[in-house]
């Protein structure tokens, strides 16, 4: 499947089952940590450094921006991303979610820092993602099923993508976002405007 022709590509087993499970277990433990810190009022309710349940795209679901481990995965996946897309990329940020039963991801296109993106299944229950390769809005789209360790690479700013209501219990996904070095997209910045990887979203636009 050629990314340059289809604007998306599926890459299987970029992480082994054991590797994916380590990342998934880490993400679940990070969620437990964040919950304990908030419940015991050890951090401000406005602190997003350990993750948040305030993501407006998927409300009341744990999400985490720019975690150092996940940003390290962003960096390590860059050569494979470049090989698959045949583009010279620079890394922007990682974003993870632990979806819960009943969650839905509405049809959308991504912001400019997500020109070339991937969603990588870390574990939990299966939940297909849909995308529309033609770039036309409101078409039926295609269904993509990913096993733990598989990833879907796609042009996030060009293709609508979404998920139907989740019928499982939990599902962990990490999104890795890059830009094409030769792109003329407005406002793109290395590391999403942070001075280095691993910084939370409050450090954006500090370059």
Domain ranges across the chain: 3-203
Looking at residue 178, its pLDDT comes to: 97
Q: What is the pLDDT of residues 10-31, one digit of tens each?
A: 999 999 999 999 999 999 999 9
Phi, psi of 169 (to 5 degrees): -100, -50
Task: Please state at what angle helix 17-39 crosses helix 68-85, rounded to 10 degrees.
Answer: 140
Q: What is the pLDDT of residues 122-166, one digit of tens each?
A: 999 999 999 988 767 777 889 999 999 999 999 999 999 999 999
Find the angle CA(125)-CA(162)-CA(92) to the nearest 5 degrees.
Answer: 90
DSSP codes joined into one string, the chain: --HHHHSEEEE--SS-HHHHHHHHHHHHHHHHHHHHHHHTT-S-TT--TT-BS--SSSTTSEEEES-HHHHHHHHHHHHHHHHHHTS-EEEEEEEEEEEETT--EEEE---GGGSEEEEEEEEES---EEE-TT--TT---EEE---TT-EEEEETTTS-EEEPPP-SSEEEEEEEEEEETT---TT--GGGG-SSTT--GGGTT--
Looking at residue 183, its pLDDT comes to: 83
Share of the chain above pLDDT 70, in %: 98
Looking at residue 206, its pLDDT comes to: 66
Asked whether the predicted pLDDT for residue 32 surpasses 80, the reply is yes
Phi, psi of 177 (to 5 degrees): -120, 135
Find the angle CA(172)-CA(104)-CA(57) to the nearest 5 degrees.
Answer: 85
| CATH class for the region spanning 3-203 | mainly beta
Q: What is the pLDDT of residues 68-84, one digit of tens each?
A: 999 999 999 999 999 99
Looking at residue 185, its pLDDT comes to: 78
**Do 21 and 15 form a contact (C-beta atoms < 8 A)?**
no
Q: What is the pLDDT of residues 92-106, one digit of tens each?
A: 999 999 999 999 999
């Amino acid at each position: 499947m050629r990314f340059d022709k289809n604007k998306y590509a599926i890459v299987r087993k970029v992480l082994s089952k054991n590797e994916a499970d380590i990342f998934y277990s880490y993400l679940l433990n990070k969620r437990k940590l964040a919950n304990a810190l908030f419940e015991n009022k050890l951090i401000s309710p406005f602190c997003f450094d350990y993750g948040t349940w305030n993501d407006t795209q998927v409300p009341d679901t744990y999400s985490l921006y720019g975690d150092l481990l996940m940003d390290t995965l962003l960096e390590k996946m860059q050569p494979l991303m470049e090989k698959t897309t045949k583009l010279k990329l620079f890394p922007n940020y990682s974003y993870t979610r632990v979806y819960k039963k009943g969650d839905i991801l509405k049809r959308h296109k991504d912001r400019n820092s997500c020109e070339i993106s991937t969603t990588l299944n870390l574990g939990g229950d299966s939940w297909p993602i849909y995308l529309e390769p033609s770039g036309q809005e409101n078409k039926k789209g295609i269904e993509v099923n990913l096993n733990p360790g598989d990833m879907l690479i796609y042009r996030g700013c060009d293709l609508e993508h979404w998920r139907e209501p989740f019928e499982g219990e939990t599902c962990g996904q990490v999104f890795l976002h890059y830009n094409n070095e030769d792109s003329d997209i407005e406002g793109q910045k290395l590391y999403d405007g942070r001075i280095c990887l691993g910084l939370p979203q409050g450090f954006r636009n500090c370059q």
